[in-house]
Amino acid sequence: MYYVFFTGTAGSGKTTMVKEFQGYLLDQDMDVAVINMDPAVEGLPYYPDLDVREYVDATEVMRRYGLGPNSSLIASIDLLLTKASEIKGDLDSVEANYVLVDTPGQVELFAYRETGRYFSSLLVGGNKSVNVFLMDSSLAKEARSYVSLLLLSSSVRFKLGMPQVNVLSKVDLLSRDELDALMRWGEGEEIVDHLGVIDEYSFELVKALLENMEVPPVPVSSNSGEGFDELYAEIQRVVAGGEDFA
């Protein structure tokens, strides 16, 4: 059993990709289950096999503790941990080759908070896992945002300690020229020329970041299905490569 997490900033396309990637795997007769890890989501385009909303209700948490939407999400994930054994029990009935995990928009949960990591390792158990980090194309086409998204991706990679595949999501929104440029940036080329005036610190940081990029972000569109073959191949490479969730 392989766990595939989908993380990224709010609106980067995680939920849509989970739905479409599930369809893609099902079309190839693969056994797929889906977990919704977002306690605050209102409607889902798929039927989750496990849904954290059955254990905590973020709206109820918000009301009861007088919290705003962001803090109620964080509190909800904390509360989920107190129901760990119940969730673990229910998880035992989820049987599939691939388990896709849709995550909340608050990416800070995975970049800065211990709970994101705890809860993920609870789900994964002794299985192999990979984190698909979505870089929204409509943000990434601006050079500084591209670099910032790479830094955020590195933060999540570092904090979560899970093998990771970066994806450039919604590439159908890019023109051919924009996509070509982003592909070259992914290879570490040209991007410095598009950053405008940057100080020495930033220059060295960008250089180190690009040199240490494991694989360039995979261009994907959940709308057209473009890039799903490549994404699947990357996921396979990672899980078959044998790196474990540290």
Binding site for ligand GDP (CB under 6 A): 8, 10-16, 105, 169-170, 172-173, 221-223
Give me Rg for the CA atoms of the chain: 18
Q: In the complex, what is the shortest distance from the CB of residue 201 to Mg ion, in angstroms, rounded to a whole number?
A: 35
CB of 234 to Mg ion, least distance (A): 21
Bridge partners of residue 162, in order along the sequence:
none
115 or 137, CB closer to ligand GDP?
137
Closest by alpha carbon to 151, among 77, 229, 208? 208
Nearer to ligand GDP by C-beta: 152 or 206?
A: 152
What is the smallest separation between the CB atom of 133 and Mg ion, expressed in angstroms?
14
Nearer to ligand GDP among residue 136 and residue 234 (C-beta): 136
DSSP class of residue 173 equals: G
Cα-based torsion angle of the residue sequence 75, 22, 172, 152 in order, rounded to the nearest 10 degrees: 30
Tell me: does residue 9 bind Mg ion (CB under 5 A).
no
Residue 169 in the binding site for Mg ion (CB under 5 A): no
Residue showing the smallest CB distance to Mg ion in the complex: 15
SS3 assignment, position 95: coil
172 contacts which partner out of ligand GDP, Mg ion, none, CB within 5 to 8 A by kind?
ligand GDP
**Bridge partners, residue 100, by sequence:** 4, 34
Which ranges constitute the DSSP H helices of the chain? Answer: 14-27, 58-65, 69-82, 84-91, 108-111, 114-124, 137-140, 143-160, 176-186, 200-211, 228-241
Could you tell me if 182 and 216 are in contact, meaning their C-beta atoms sit under 8 angstroms apart?
no
Q: Quick check: 106 binds Mg ion (CB under 5 A)? A: no
Q: Which is nearer to ligand GDP, 10 or 215 (CB)?
A: 10
Residues numbered 10 to 49 that lie near Mg ion (CB under 5 A) are: 14-15
| Closer Cβ to ligand GDP, 20 or 234, answer by number | 20
**What one-character DSSP code corresponds to residue 181?**
H
First to last CA, the chain: 17
Residues that bind Mg ion (CB under 5 A): 14-15
